[in-house]
Amino acid sequence: MDDSELRQRDFFKKLCRGEQHLVELKGIIDTYQGSHPYEMRKTVTRKKDVWRMHITEQPRPETALILGDALYNIRASLDYLMGEVCRRRSDATKVYFPTPAIQQRIWEIPQVEGENEERTQMRKNWSLFERAMPSGVLALLKGLEIPKRGPIKGGEFVNHLVALNALANKDRHTRLHVLASGLQGSTVFSKARLANGETLLFGPSDSESELYEDGAIVPMPPGVVDVEIHGTVKVVVPIGAKGVYAALPDAADEIRAYVLSLAAQFVEYLRSDVVPLTHGAPTNEETT
């Protein structure tokens, strides 16, 4: 199947819709970051000046809605894909991309008496899935490694399907929580006043590897009377467990790229009877 044919497939068009939302997401985040929504504030603690970095404004609520739209389409593209690779068209509406079953590796777990309802239902769904899918598709899915709890590294997610599933599921019920977690790539300028009234300028001092969280103390020498800080506000979305997050918009684009590369593995199993969107509605003969 050449690229022009692939681009007419509904799963690919659904993925492209998600990509369009990601362009919009990047634009709204760029505008927010460009407004420099942060400042330095001085407080006095035990007669000592303490300088802290504060986020003055959070991302607009629309940011979360746009992210949700993007993730919905990206996640749905995988369900579309399963419907286009199952053996019979009549099964297309019964199958979906089985992330939870792959996480649990349900086919390896023996059924026992008193099994909880959720696992029993997952087992039934997987049995239907096995009957509906070609053996090659099943082999590809069983070969995927999706950690059960989505391991993290430095607080950031490292598994795209775990993140996609968690965020898309949450967005079905409530708005995602997009927030500014702090300031990164910071450059600090400061001005100190000497005892004789003179002022000295310090900086720039770079803290490229450091993330100043909202309210974080920025170390300053005694006598500083003014501080400027410049950097990029880090925008994130929490994922599931407390302390796990994805940085935006990069993480969302990484998820899209991963799904595209994953879908490419199933191309050879796409049914030829799937009617491309541009060909119009199927005839009565085609729907039987």
Q: Quick check: 269 and 134 in contact, CB under 8 A?
A: yes
According to DSSP, the residues that pair with 211 across neighbouring strands are 184
E strands, the chain, where? 38-45, 48-55, 152-153, 156-157, 179-193, 199-213, 216-217, 224-238, 245-248
pLDDT at residue 276, rounded to an integer? 57
Lowest-confidence segment of 23-37, 222-236, 267-281 by average pLDDT = 267-281
Q: Quick check: 233 and 185 in contact, CB under 8 A?
A: no
What's the maximum distance between 2 C-alpha atoms anywhere in the chain?
94
Per-residue pLDDT tens for 215-261? 999 888 888 888 888 889 999 999 876 778 899 999 999 999 999 99
Which whole number is the average pLDDT over 130-150?
Answer: 88
CB atoms within 10 A of CB 59: 22
How many Cα atoms sit within 13 Å of 212 on the Cβ side? 27
Separation between Cα atoms, residue 220 and residue 49, nearest integer Å? 9
Closest CA to 28 of 68, 72, 73: 68
CB burial string 206-224: b at 16+ within 10 A, e below: ebeeeebebeeebebeeeb
Contacts of 227 (CB under 8 A, 6+ apart): 40, 42, 51, 188, 189, 190, 191, 218, 220
Domain ranges of the chain: 3-279
Burial class of 229 by CB neighbour count within 10 A (0 to 12, 13 to 18, 19+)? buried
Separation between Cα atoms, residue 38 and residue 215, nearest integer Å? 10
Per-residue pLDDT tens for 45-72? 888 989 999 999 999 999 999 999 999 9
Separation between Cα atoms, residue 154 and residue 40, nearest integer Å? 26
Separation between Cα atoms, residue 94 and residue 9, nearest integer Å? 19
Share of the chain above pLDDT 70, in %: 86
- Tokens 């692939």 found at: 6
Pick 39 or 185 by higher pLDDT. 39
Which whole number is the average pLDDT over 185-203?
Answer: 74
Give the global pTM.
Answer: 0.86
Lowest-confidence segment of 6-20, 117-131, 173-187, 216-230 by average pLDDT = 216-230
- Mean confidence (pLDDT) of the chain: 87
CB atoms within 10 A of CB 45: 8
